[in-house]
Amino acid sequence: MKTLLTVFCFFTLFSAVAQNSVFKACIYLEDSVTVSNGFVVFPLTKDTVFTDKSGIISFELTNPKYRLCYFTWMGLKSKIFRFTSSEAPVSIQKVFVPDTAFYRPFHEKHVCPVCLKSKYVIPIVYGYPSPKMFKRFKKNRIMLGGCIIQEYQPEFFCRRDEFEF
Ligand SMILES: [Zn+2]
């Protein structure tokens, strides 16, 4: 019994040491240029972690609320990461922004990539708002996107997560 307990303790200790729970990532633009002033957002807590001096973002996956996240730089978003356990890869991961391929099916189905629901998703309408647009905005039917038209601007807004995609 004593031996069994010792073996059990040894394995618990060993697995705790061997398992890495810190996720480390670098943000890259699609053309493989790395950026240094991005951050990670955890939609469940609204917490953020910024890039450190060496250009790396690192955070603990031991907190289950940190297992849902996305990386962002200048409004460009990575895909949504969903970790199923606290186990993180040992090496630094390359995260790309914007991940247009990831968001395409969500755009097509009008589904929020964070909560995976369509109930709270409304379109973002750009341009100078007309009185009709204002009415629809007040009724939470649309989100006003402003007059500036840029590349990669979000098409939808989830009212539940306050998430643009
Ligand atoms: Zn949502």
Question: Which range is least confidently modeled, 5-14, 25-34, 81-90?
Answer: 5-14
Distance 68 CA to ligand 1 centre (A): 12
Task: Give the per-residue pLDDT at 93.
Answer: 97
Each residue of 18-60: pLDDT tens digit? 689 999 999 999 878 899 899 999 999 999 999 999 999 999 9
Distance 158 CA to ligand 1 centre (A): 5
Distance 85 CA to ligand 1 centre (A): 22
Residue 70 has pLDDT above 60, yes or no: yes
Distance 111 CA to ligand 1 centre (A): 8
Token readout for 163 is 């998430």
Token readout for 136 is 């629809």
Closest C-alpha to 25, from 73, 74, 84: 73
What are the structural domain ranges in the chain?
1-98, 100-165
Task: Give the per-residue pLDDT at 29.
Answer: 94
Alpha helices in the chain (DSSP H): 2-18, 100-109, 131-138
Each residue of 112-152: pLDDT tens digit? 999 999 999 999 999 999 999 999 999 999 999 999 888 88
Distance 117 CA to ligand 1 centre (A): 6
Residue 16 has pLDDT above 80, yes or no: no
Task: Give the per-residue pLDDT at 145.
Answer: 94
In the structure, ligand 1 is a single-atom ion and the residues with CB under 5 Å from it are 112, 114-115, 158, 160-161
* CB under 8 A, 24+ apart: contacts of 138-142: none
* Predicted structure pTM score: 0.84
Distance 115 CA to ligand 1 centre (A): 4
- The fold for domain 1-98 equals Immunoglobulin-like (2.60.40)
Distance 16 CA to ligand 1 centre (A): 34
69 in Cβ contact with 43 (< 8 Å): yes
Distance 157 CA to ligand 1 centre (A): 8
Calculate mean pLDDT across residues 3-10. 53
